[in-house]
Amino acid sequence: MPIDVVLGLQWGDEGKGKIVDLLAENVDVVARYQGGPNAGHTVVHGDRKFVLHMVPSGILSPHAECLIGNGVVVDPERLLQEFDKLGAAGVDVPARLRLSHAAHLILPQHTMLDEMAERLRGAIGTTKRGVGFAYGDKALRWGLRLADLLDDAHWIDRLRSNLERHALALGPAFQLERELARIAERLEPARIKLRALAVDGPAWLWERMGQGRRILAEGAQGAMLDIDHGTYPFLTSSNTTTGGVCTGLGVPPSAIGEVWGVIKAYSTRVGEGPFPTELTGPEGEALRQHGNEFGATTGRPRRCGWFDAVIGRRSVALTGTTKIALTKLDVLDDLAEIPLATSYRDLKGEAAPFPQTAEQFAAIRPQTETIPGWNCSTQGIQEWGKLPRAAQAYVARIEELLGVPVALISTGSDRSHTIWRT
């Protein structure tokens, strides 16, 4: 069976958690392929809201096995905290979750360095969870993996070696042996509790693929935060696009099936970085309040703006999206008219290529068209035919601009507030 994929087409926060939760009803395995605790996937079940940072959203489907792949960076302490929170809600995470031996670790020194760097270089919007520094250690080939944490004979030596490499940056107050003992003690519960969950991630998946199991790959963040293809340097430290599925899980490109691109009916962004359709006045604040646009991980207010089809088209092309899941349509219910961006022009009024730097983004102006609003509630609607005609026209225009069918529309936070068009 091919592996279907769920990923974001904007700057994250598109509503991927709900979409994974819905699709997980009909799959056997949900595998997270990149990112770390900087993600915050929100899933609503009735009156209960779950915010998942590292555990795949499929954990809320009782029949589904879950995998944290080698492309994810794992904070062992935060992961155990997530186990405890889910356990208190009746979800037995260890019974159905496995972790790749090759997943790299976020260690206390990484979060310390992240906080220092954010102060020194000026904010770019990092969550200060140590994600970038853990990926940096991985690229420099001195990172520590889950396999190292569980290696009784060499764990302390490898932890010491990593601390030695960071000692200068951590400053003169950093005492290596003291910190070594402190960090080793902090991570001892994780060494005990994660041991039984560690697997050869690719082999674990290959076995299930060979058995014909239905597998869903869950992405974090969004295509415009991809380390190679996003709005550099205001992005994340991993490959959020479809290629990250292959490297982050250990599967070939030929294994990829449907690619669900999740996109909001408007645009949001957390932190710094280019945002061509941003609304900085009352309209943006109204969208923020109506859409409850505050970060699931940090609580920071999200920047809000109109739908940007230029960003959407590029993300569709980068990811090979075959189906669109359009979220938060209901947030636009009270608007008399809804602008959306269809192209960019430079300051001379000429057609502009896709910007490659923040300065180039600042020198373009989005060209918009206006779609009539529907001025009535769509919240909770479950059938396409019951949407107002103007809402149908808005969805159809997005389909036309992106060149991909909108197969699912979310009309509210609850999993039942969904229109299926497939």
CA 364 to chain centre: 27
- Strand, coil or helix: 215: strand
The residues that bridge with 262 in the sheet, in sequence order, are: 8, 325
* 41 is an active site residue: yes
Compute CA distances 348 → 274, 344, 363, 364, whole Å. Answer: 20, 11, 10, 9
Residue positions counted in the chain: 422
As beta bridge partners, residue 263 has 326
Helix (H) or strand (E) holding 23, with range, is helix 16-23
CB contact at 8 A, 34 and 138: no
Please compute Rg for the chain using Cα positions: 22
* Ramachandran quadrant class, 292 (left: phi over 0; alpha: psi -120 to 50; beta: rest): left
- Identify whether 157 is a catalytic site residue: no
Burial class (CB in 10 A: 0-12, 13-18, 19+), 280: exposed
With 0-12 CB in 10 A as exposed, 13-18 as middle and 19+ as buried, what is 366? buried
Amino acid letter, 223: A
CA distance 57 to 340: 31
Of the residues 13, 28, 114, 226, only one is catalytic, namely: 13
Q: Report H helices in 234-368.
A: 243-249, 282-290, 309-319, 358-362
Map tokens 């994929």 to a residue. 5
How many angstroms separate the CA atoms of 11 and 311, rounded?
Answer: 10
Q: Could you give the C-alpha distances from 386 to 221, 413, 416, in angstroms and in order?
A: 32, 18, 15
Helix (H, G, I), strand (E, B) or coil at 371: strand
Q: Which of 4, 28, 41, 110 is catalytic?
A: 41
Would you name the residues annotated as active-site residues?
Answer: 13, 41
